Amino acid sequence: EFELADYSILEKIGEGSFSEVFRVKHTRTGQFYAAKKLTKLYFDPAEALQDSEIRVMKMLDYHPNVLSFVDILHDEATGNLSLIMELMDMSMYDYIKNRKRCLSEKRVKRYLYQMVCGLNHLHRNGIFHRDIKPENVLIKIPRKLKENELVQLADFGSICSTSQQPPYSAYISTRWYRSPECLLTSGYYGPKMDIWAIGCCFYEMLTLNPLFPGENELDQLYLIHEIVGSPSAAMLAKFRHLNQLDYDFPKRKPTNFRSLIPLLSHYGVDVLNRTLAYFPEARISAARLLQHLYFEDVSKSSKSSRLSSSSMPCLDEADLRSKNSSRKTSKNSPQSACSLDRRSNGSSSVGSVTAKQKLTMEMMKHKNLERVWGMNESPGKARLVQQIHTSRLCNS
């Protein structure tokens, strides 16, 4: 039976091809989290460090719209690797699948803006997701009035670095959200494939129906051409390394998105056109999309309430100075990575911050992986921490 040190497993809340997700409770703080138990076993700690989701955490600063880990548990005896994450309420797919009425455009715009913010954070750090879809977008419903939903990108099992050179894996991304360059070439694509998927998600959130529900790759291309138009010979010639097939597509003129969603605003239609451009170089970037006039009202609201919209506040300056001082005095100790756990064991607090809140804040504040091993001391974890420190020293 699956067990986690320092956590009580309450129920299974999800399952995929490569992992199972459980709702868990930290036994000391009483905080609820999601535990993602990977199907793949890692008996070698060094190999566990190379897991794609852990590599993402090593590369990224914290961002409110990118799912972050608060603990990582590796059991060398069983090979189990479990990632402890903030507990969100549901996926966007679950949120919209049984709705009878469509979401308002205003609400969808808020969700889309947060998705693009998270995506821009990935792209700025040289990472593209490769599997954006409603199932991999998580949402937390506010418990108080006048609070907005929190939306996060999740599931980084397919991520790819822009420093790698194509061809990449040819079979990637879920078919319905796969961009033309993924369908037409043998792995010659890039971050713009994520923008295409964002456009597909935007349409699906507005209408509650997928835009391109193809039954196979050829049917997928047919549906794409029915909406955005078929590519000309000159357009196809721009794609590098086309698959060796006879692409003699029937000529199709693009369908105006206005006819598909009559009540969508002018700028909303423009966002669909720019995110679902057939040729990737003509597709808008995440950074440019955030500057689109469509998001003008949302971005102003977001800037004024960014801290309050996130459930993960930052440490105050006094606590940061105290923490930095503590790290300096313990940097030579093999247990320094576990100091978070020991400090939060007492009943003292900074100002009105409780010990439980302080523990959560400290775990979420620091991008480096030392933060995520503070709750559970074990020889296997200590070795992983040591390897991370050694890796950083070599790279610095």
Determine the Cα–Cα distance for residues 380 and 270; give it in Å rounded to an integer.
52
Phi/psi at 90 (nearest 5 deg)?
-170, 170
Q: Please tell me whether 133 is known to bind a ligand.
A: no
Rounded Cα distance, 227 and 316, in Å = 51
Catalytic residues: 131
Within its chain, how far is the Cα of 355 from the centroid? Answer: 29
Distance from C-alpha of 96 to C-alpha of 208, rounded to nearest angstrom: 6
Gyration radius from the chain CA atoms: 23
Task: Tell me which H or E stretch contains 293.
Answer: none
Q: Is 53:156 a contact under the CB 8 Å cutoff?
A: yes
- Amino acid at position 161, single letter: S
Residue 256 phi, psi dihedral angles, 5° rounding: -70, 125
Torsion of CA 41, 43, 49, 51, to 10 degrees: -20
- Under a CB-based contact definition with an 8 Å cutoff, are residues 140 and 90 in contact? no
As a whole number of angstroms, the distance between CA 340 and CA 369 comes to: 12
Annotated binding-site residue numbers for ATP: 37
